[in-house]
Amino acid sequence: MIRAISVDMDGTFLDGNGEYDRARFESIYAELVKREIKFIVASGNQYYQLKSFFPGKDAELFYVAENGAVIFHQRELLSVNRFDVRLVQKILRTLIQEYQDLQVILCGVKSAYLLKAANPDFKAFAKKYYFELQEVDSFDVLPDDTFIKFALDVEVAKTGQIVEDLNQTFAGEIRAVSSGHGSIDIIIPGVTKGSAIQQLLNEWQVAPDDLLAFGDANNDIEMLQLTSHSYAMQESSPKVLATAKHVAPSNKEAGVLQVIEDYMKKSQRP
């Protein structure tokens, strides 16, 4: 019996315009509440951006944000995994010195940070995903925050090589993972959407196979590995398609909502 649902956002829950059928979801969510099924938004994006998609419900849902580095519920921080400050400084030096064409965002719990000298197009892009965002003169002096992730923008063709290089350079200290379209996240080893969701399932005493999970990119793999009720979106990466037990219709066709509706029709109310 499904007792929790976790959804990635970009390329999964959201359509090609970065939206979803809100009226349809309202109807589905009302039924989920009746059945006491918890709804988890699981994304590499910032919490403050994610909750903006669910006005009026932002306190009700669970948010696994920044690829599992933080968990929020009822507008409170439930859990955080942080980088050591010295490692943050070391990573920033490497990124700035060795990858001149790379754009970087330093993600903290309070806000995200990027350089004032960053590419204007990148700044505009960043503002779409980071609702709490500050520009700084340099990263020589770090802001007063707890740092949980680095978000990089690179040439799409170089993504795989840069991920490999970073994982070799900082072996055991970080994990670099592509989240698609030239985006790379640098996260804490062992901290994933999957590990954060498993933490929630443990607290709720919910078995992994009572989870319904949806994703499309490589940073969703650990989440999809938790359950036999795992769905890759139709246009997912090859690794995700190989990991998930099922394939959902395209995000452009509201595939997540279709599958949830089908599950609810097939199952009896508790």
Catalytic residues: 8
Torsion of CA 149, 151, 156, 158, to 10 degrees: -60
Q: CB neighbours of 80 closer than 8 A, spacing ≥ 6? A: 69, 70, 71, 109, 146, 148
Closest CA to 178 of 152, 199, 202: 152
Q: What tokens were used for 247? A: 């394939």
Are 247 and 210 within 8 A, CB to CB? no
Are 188 and 81 within 8 A, CB to CB? yes
Torsion of CA 255, 39, 175, 230, to 10 degrees: -50
